[in-house]
Amino acid sequence: MSALSFKAQLPADVRAAIRNGEWPKPTAGLAPGYVQVNFAILPARDAGDFHRFCQKNPKPCPLIAISEIGDPRIPQLGADLDIRTDTPRYRVFRDGKVIDEPFDIREYWRDDLVTFAIGCSFTFEHSLLESGIGIRHIEQNRNVPMYRTNIATDPAGKFHGPMVVSMRPLKAADAIRAIQITSRFPGVHGAPVHIGDPALIGIKDIAKPDYGDAVDIRDDELPVFWACGVTPQSVIVEAKPEFCITHAPGHMLITDLRNSDLSVI
């Protein structure tokens, strides 16, 4: 099955193809118009703390859905959806260290695991592009630049650490429009957390992101910073839970939700 035929398909069809091993690659551009999510899978003993962490930090950790304990399904995101098979690639952690990057996680599944589905900026980038606002990292065919900041998250149990932000350089008028557009999407990080001088949020060198790739910032542009879904992953890695599974970067879970479903106004 080719990428083009995927693009004409509904999310359930794309998930089925991924489940069948036909798409072991990043999901950007698949099932356009539908929500793709970050996720983290944790044992029940750590899930309560992490759930509170998301509740207390909705900008970096906008919780879209949560599974029942031990249940690999998340029906509110797709009737057929199975978290063990429906993502192209995973990362399995023990004590905060990656031990495997498998294409499915059936062999790792346990009766005590809880899945947290967390909003992803793909959703608001779709709206920015539809509004004619260029996104530099897409134009330059790079990963979005991400930075650790000095903005503390609100800790919950073992989970704590600095907020990670993504950055998109925009002309002032586009930045203002982007603030309006992303304000409509609190479920996918919402409005920016900072605009302008990177040093004010503890970023020493904008040309050296902590994750992703640097992008060009032109003289007439402002860097605009959004809370980033890498924050929960960074926090989990630092908290070193006994066991954890996430998606591999860029290999997201595709849901039946439409991007517009996450718009509040």
Binding site for a copy of itself (CB under 8 A): 172-173, 175-176, 179-180, 183, 191-197, 200, 220, 222, 265
Q: Which is nearer to a copy of itself, 66 or 195 (CB)?
A: 195
Q: Which residues contact 130 (CB under 8 A, 6 or more apart)?
A: none
CB of 201 to a copy of itself, least distance (A): 8
Q: Which is nearer to a copy of itself, 160 or 184 (CB)?
A: 184
Cα–Cα distance, 41 to 72 (Å, whole number): 10
CB of 15 to a copy of itself, least distance (A): 35
CB of 223 to a copy of itself, least distance (A): 10
User: Residues 14, 88, 184, 180: is their CA dihedral positive or negative?
Assistant: negative
Long-range contacts formed by 147-152: CB under 8 A, 24+ apart = 147/198, 147/203, 147/206, 147/209, 147/210, 147/211, 147/225, 148/202, 148/210, 148/234, 149/194, 149/201, 149/202, 149/203, 149/225, 150/201, 150/202, 151/193, 151/194, 151/201, 151/202
CB of 169 to a copy of itself, least distance (A): 12
Q: Which is nearer to a copy of itself, 30 or 193 (CB)?
A: 193
Q: Which is nearer to a copy of itself, 98 or 172 (CB)?
A: 172
CB of 153 to a copy of itself, least distance (A): 16
Q: Which is nearer to a copy of itself, 111 or 219 (CB)?
A: 219
Cα–Cα distance, 203 to 150 (Å, whole number): 8
Supply φ then ψ for residue 91, to 5 degrees: -125, 125
CB of 157 to a copy of itself, least distance (A): 27
Q: Which is nearer to a copy of itself, 80 or 130 (CB)?
A: 130
